Amino acid sequence: MLDVTKETFDKEVLSSKLPVLVDFWAPWCDPCRIVGPVLDKLSSEYTNKLKCTKLNVDDNQEISAKFDVRGIPCMIVFSEGKELDRIIGAYPEETLRRKIDLILAKA
């Protein structure tokens, strides 16, 4: 998964031709560390359908605040520069896949 920062967020997320999932996370967050490997696996499965990225909330507080991220893990899917939907919390792989599929159906 691609790490995005305040410097690369607009280019990699908001200007992307593909829908983009942004995993808002922090190194100290145990549920985030559980979700990370699952998203790594899913990102390879969704090649050419969904771009998967992650953003460290501690290092990029301005972006977290801009999108009203109040708890992590929080995954926001953007399409054409706008928020399409969000997934809040840690879920098993099958549940995440189902939620992502439902969101992509709206894109």
Q: Where are the domains of the chain?
A: 2-106
Q: Which of 29, 50, 57, 74 is catalytic?
A: 29
32 is catalytic: yes
Is the pLDDT at 70 greater than 80? The verdict is yes
Q: Which helix (H) or strand (E) holds 75?
A: strand 74-79
Residues 2-34: tens digit of each pLDDT? 999 999 999 999 999 999 999 999 999 999 999
Torsion region of 48: left, alpha or beta (phi above 0 gives left; psi -120 to 50 gives alpha):
left
CATH 3.30.1330.10 for the 2-106 domain, yes or no: no
- How much is the mean pLDDT over the chain? 95
Q: Which of 4, 32, 39, 55 is catalytic?
A: 32
What is the value of pTM for the model shown?
Answer: 0.94
Q: Which amino acid appears at position 93 of this protein?
A: E
29 is catalytic: yes
pLDDT band (50, 70, 90) for residue 107: confident
> How much is the pLDDT for 106?
84
Is the pLDDT at 35 greater than 80? The verdict is yes
